Amino acid sequence: MFVFYLAAAAVVLALLNMLFTGAPFFATLLAWLLGVQVGLGALWAFLGHYYKSDEVAAYIGWRPGSPFQKEIAFTNLALGVCGVLAFFLRHSPLRDGFWLATILFATCFLVGAFTVHARDLRVGGNKKPGNAGPVFFADIGMPVILWVLYWLR
């Protein structure tokens, strides 16, 4: 559920930002989703995959003790840094190019993760919440939302 809480927080913060500053709707919502849901969410995932590897593996339904957890932690770290930077560059001339690169990165990673989780659900019957729960749907839904907002900005 954490991924949905982050998305909800991003929407609320974007609405407050628009209310008080008159900022444009689509670009503002995209900036906040990139910064909060993608950026902070991926930084949180980095912390979990790196420092609580075995607990995260158990939550996902995967074998604990795999060095893969540390590897995926650094993918999340890179995505988190990009998401946070995308937010802070929202008023920069670099904005559109950086947003495009960050959305492409998020799409490749999240859709890739979705396909792995979907296969594990279909083939292995893994219905653990970390495999087939909210993250499963966010992995496919968030890239779609990001692309739509990018095109509408």
Contact assessment for residue 68 and residue 29, using Cβ atoms and an 8 Å cutoff: no
**Which of 28-32, 61-65, 68-72 is most confident?**
28-32
One-letter amino acid of 91: H
DSSP 8-state assignment for residue 23: -
Mean pLDDT, range 124-138, rounded to an integer: 92
Q: What is the pLDDT of residue 16?
A: 98
Q: What is the pLDDT of residues 53-62, one digit of tens each?
A: 999 999 999 9
For residue 96, is pLDDT > 90?
Answer: yes
Q: What is the pLDDT of residue 68?
A: 87
Token pair recorded at residue 26: 């689509």
Look at the chain and report how many structural domains it folds into: 1
Q: Which structural domain range is residue 36 located in?
A: 2-152
Token pair recorded at residue 86: 């995308």
